Amino acid sequence: MVHVSAGQTVRLLIVDDHPVVCDGVRSLVRDAPDLEVVGSGRTAREGIELAATLRPDVVLLDLRLPDMLGSEALPRVLAVSPATRVVIFTAFEDHAALDAAMSAGAQGCLLKDVTHTDLVEQLRRIAAGVRVIDPRLKESGGAMLQARLFQLSLSRREYEVVRLAATGKTNPEIAEDLGLARNTVKTYLQTAMQKLGARNRVEAVRRAREERLL
């Protein structure tokens, strides 16, 4: 594990597809002598590659990235840089995917509206090994996601198929990942589209994002 001692600079990697967020974080930590932004990525894959190269102390990881969810990217970051502490950075305090991210090994979760002092102090604590979760967020062990799926009448399998479709995977790839027959994946996707009021998989993914499932 990373042990950041007094006087040591915390090396921070930002992974977020919005340039304004990356620039904002850089600006917020610029005056902190013990924090340094060593890089930034716009996609999960970029973030994973940078983590492998830079071996940062802390990764500030957006929950929703263009190519995959933060909960899916997180274990891959840890696989290439095991000592790094990964923090989920999100604009949504009631996002159903937060539970999965925390279960995947996140060191903490922060909302994007944190102030300068809060962000700097929280990053210091995280680098020191403290698990930090914004008090506005509630860990619920999957209850939040389950409640949202229940409201939409979506089964867990239907959700998993839509989640993988959102990452750009084809039906055969989804079938392989979930250990299902291709026709079964097709059926799950069709029923999910019906429940989400979508005409195709693109609309299904969009609706799932609107419902904060992705």
DSSP codes, the chain: -----TTPPEEEEEE-S-HHHHHHHHHHHTT-TTEEEEEEESSHHHHHHHHHHH--SEEEEESB-SSSBHHHHHHHHHHH-TT-EEEEEES-TT-TTHHHHHHTT-SEEEETT--HHHHHHHHHHHHTT--EE-TT----TTHHHHHHHHHHT--HHHHHHHHHHHTT--HHHHHHHHT--HHHHHHHHHHHHHHHT-SSHHHHHHHHHHTT--
Give the pLDDT confidence of 114-173 residue by residue, as tens digits.
776 788 999 999 999 888 888 766 544 456 677 778 788 888 899 989 988 988 889 999
Rounded mean pLDDT, 70-90: 92
pLDDT at 84: 95
The span from the CA of 209 to the CA of 91, in Å, is 13
Looking at beta carbons, which pairs linking 44-47 to residues 24 or more positions away fall under 8 Å?
Answer: 44/15, 44/68, 44/70, 44/72, 44/73, 44/76, 46/15, 47/13, 47/15, 47/73, 47/77
- 4 pLDDT higher than 80: no
Q: Is the pLDDT of residue 104 over 80?
A: no
Q: Identify which has the larger pLDDT, 3 or 34.
A: 34
What integer best gives the mean pLDDT of the chain?
86
Mean pLDDT to the nearest integer, 13-19: 94
C-alpha angle with apex 83: 28 to 46, nearest 5 degrees?
60
Pairwise CA distance, residues 57 & 41, whole Å: 16
Is residue 94's pLDDT more than 60?
no
pLDDT score recorded for residue 141: 45
More confidently predicted of 74 and 148: 74
